[in-house]
């Protein structure tokens, strides 16, 4: 039988050292790779934040320009905005007619500001569009400071946008009332009059007015909930108490209706009984008067005087 060959202790130690060295090298490589990844991620994040800040500054600049054009809007500039895009580009080539229109424009940003403000006021939701540049400023500031837009700011933007749209529809519906004073189109814009005309054609002018009133109140309550939750709870409790009082009053009234009818019927019955008792007395009195009259007549006839 052949002898079995077993590895020596030195060989085993060498193999263990080699395996340990391999593990150490792999751990070191993993650490180095993770450091490289973190460095790359940091560089990318820094670059992204820098680009985001540049974008927020550009957004802020755009929002301020739009706000200035809206603030300095006047209906007199509407005639200056009736130009095509080709005519607008011709101002760089020295178009004299266009330069004259630009000189007559009262908008702080010239003819470009007049075109922008006229479009935003008359072709969207009217004066309520002033909220648009204000929220652009809020968004740009949030991006510049926090590199993100908070959930609350997004909710407020959605809420105030809904408020602006509903308000324009409400004012446009009021402008359709024949006996009401005339309202300028800048108060509601093209979107407002479209919503008012479409809804009033389906449910009538009164129905449209009531619907927009309800929507307006609902959006205002939603915004109050976002801005001041405690005040919202107070309003909620007030309406709950008022609703409870009204429902209790209605229930009490409905319960009292049968008793009221019974009381009325009883009063009627009593009055009829009194009338029946008075009837014989009146008849007797009339008979007595007739007797006295006949006696007086007889006396007058047979009286010799």
Residues 41-90: pLDDT tens digits? 888 888 888 999 999 999 999 999 999 999 999 988 887 777 776 677 66
Kindly state the greatest CA–CA separation across the chain: 192
pLDDT for position 91: 67
Range name among 76-80, 110-114, 138-142, 219-223 with the lowest pLDDT average: 76-80
The predicted model scores a pTM of 0.68
Domain parsing of the chain, residue ranges: 18-130, 150-227
Q: Report the C-alpha gap between 304 and 290 in whole angstroms.
A: 23
Q: Report the C-alpha gap between 175 and 187 in whole angstroms.
A: 10
Instruction: State the average pLDDT for the chain.
Output: 81
Q: Report the C-alpha gap between 146 and 137 in whole angstroms.
A: 14
pLDDT for residue 121 is more than 90 = yes
């Amino acid at each position: 039988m052949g002898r079995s060959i077993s590895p020596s202790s030195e060989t085993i130690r060498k193999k263990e050292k080699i395996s340990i060295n391999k593990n150490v090298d792999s751990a070191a490589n993993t650490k180095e790779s993770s450091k490289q990844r973190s460095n790359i991620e940091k560089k990318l994040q820094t670059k992204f934040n820098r680009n985001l800040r540049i974008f927020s500054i550009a957004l802020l600049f755009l929002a301020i320009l739009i706000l200035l054009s809206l603030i300095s809007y006047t209906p007199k500039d509407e005639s200056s905005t009736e130009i095509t895009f080709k005519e607008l580009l011709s101002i760089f080539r020295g178009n004299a007619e266009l330069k004259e229109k630009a000189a007559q424009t009262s908008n702080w940003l010239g003819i470009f500001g007049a075109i922008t403000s006229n479009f935003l006021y008359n072709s969207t939701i009217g004066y309520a569009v002033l909220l648009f540049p204000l929220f652009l400023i809020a968004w740009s500031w949030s991006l510049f400071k926090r590199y993100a837009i908070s959930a609350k700011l997004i909710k407020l933007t959605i809420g105030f946008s809904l408020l602006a749209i509903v308000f324009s529809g409400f004012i446009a519906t009021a402008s359709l009332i024949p006996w009401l004073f005339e309202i300028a189109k800048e108060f509601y814009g093209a979107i407002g009059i479209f919503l008012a005309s479409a809804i009033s054609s389906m449910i009538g002018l009164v129905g449209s007015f009531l619907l927009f009133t309800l929507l307006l109140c609902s959006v205002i309550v939603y915004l109050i909930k976002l801005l001041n939750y405690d005040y919202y709870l107070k309003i909620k409790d007030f309406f709950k108490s008022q609703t409870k009082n009204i429902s209790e009053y209605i229930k009490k009234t409905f319960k009292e209706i049968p008793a009221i009818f019974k009381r009325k019927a009883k009063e009627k019955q009593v009055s009829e009984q009194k009338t029946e008792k008075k009837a014989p007395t009146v008849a007797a009195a009339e008979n007595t008067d007739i007797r006295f009259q006949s006696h007086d007549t007889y006396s007058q006839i047979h009286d010799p005087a």
